[in-house]
Amino acid sequence: MNQGDHQLATILDYFEQINAIPRCSKDEARLGQWLHDWAAERQLERRRDAAGNLVVKVPASPGMADRPTVIIQGHMDMVCEKTPDSMHDFSRDPIRSKRDGDWLMADRTTLGADNGIALAYALALAEDPTIQRPPLELLFTVDEETGLNGVKEMPADLISGKMLINLDSEDEGVFTIGCAGGMETLCSMPLNKEPFPAGWELHQVLVGGLRGGHSGIDIDKQRGNANKILARTLMHLHREMKLKIVTMAGGTRHNAIARDAMTVVACPPGEGIRVRERVARLEAILKGEYAGLDDGLCIKATTSDLDTEVVWSEETSLRVLNLLLALPHGVAGMSKTIEGLVESSSNLATMAVEQEVLRILMSQRSASSAKLVALSETVHAIAGLANCQFVDENKYPPWQPDMNAPLLQTAQAVYAGLFGKEPVLEVIHAGLECAIIGERCPGMQMISFGPDIENPHSPTERMRISSVGKVWCFLVALLEAIGR
């Protein structure tokens, strides 16, 4: 085994050890303790904050102590998704990975390469005696996937370096140098109800088969949003026949385009056939609209055995449907300086009934702080017109690119020297922890890169093994070059 193969094997071994520890968002304590113990065994200085973020300080290689300190950063948590037939218990079972040629994937679950591979790189950097490295601060954050929450709680003095390498990107050869800011708005509408009409029937309407995707990265692909499609379906039915809503739900998380949504409705006896006919008619229309974008779209009506004694009032039902139809979803504006980049967007992320209140979660993004506020105010105005309460939460700033940063310029030169081509520079329409760290620590130079990871946040997530080795070679060369 040559040196490169040995280093790759070490990184993948660390990745497997990390994957043996359950680490869904908000359940990272066991992994955090394992990392803390790992550092203690090696007598490395370490510190945790109240949120659970951990920094481990690694001394410089001989002759490198006068170089600037570099922060190597990744997050501990992962998105825990599995296929319907998987028996995996994310609270206790290790992630079982397998190889398929040059790819590493899991057994019907998310792989956790987002962002376990960053942690594996960091541990390998600290232990490899052949690396010429400056002083390092290994920063391991918590609760990234639910809204960058861990790093929002991080005190600025947890770290001291002014150069940060974030290893949470997913295309080898692409450097992320900026990202959008974001804000969520939770709309809450009390549900006025009335007695269930005697003799009426219950039917369930399901919207599914959609591709969904990341609400930032994929928002420009014009894929269907199940919540919006369900609202359109219900309004279509409401205009043609007597109908009363019993409940509804849709979407799974703030940063995903809703793939599935459902409602249960009541209608007069014998009207079930008309419900199914009209749903089928609208499905055909929408399949045409989404042809080539979301060919799997499916809208089906079936009988329901839900046990209920009440339905939503007519006034409440109309207010809910008008609100869902009016709330913005999709691209709100494109960048005027970077071709093809979405500047601003919104996502009607989730809706669910909780304690007699319908809660609708909206997620707004923008590369412009002012436009993020303006887009959020649009959501506020629509919610206000519907007499709906709203509150903003989970706000984070944009990360503005600095093309003249020495870290970026060094990284470009090192990459071109190693591989004979220039790296691609991108600003993404999604949130990265860099944005918050940069705001918290003024003057921080930052760059993000990583190996090829496909379909993160899904059971088909996979990581290209050869790209893991390629990123390692670049990372080692970059650390050696910084401050030279």
Positions annotated as catalytic residues are: 77, 144
Q: Are 163 and 443 in contact (CB under 8 A)?
A: no
Q: Indicate the pairing of strand 357-366 with strand 181-190.
A: antiparallel
Structure tokens at 161: 């370096």
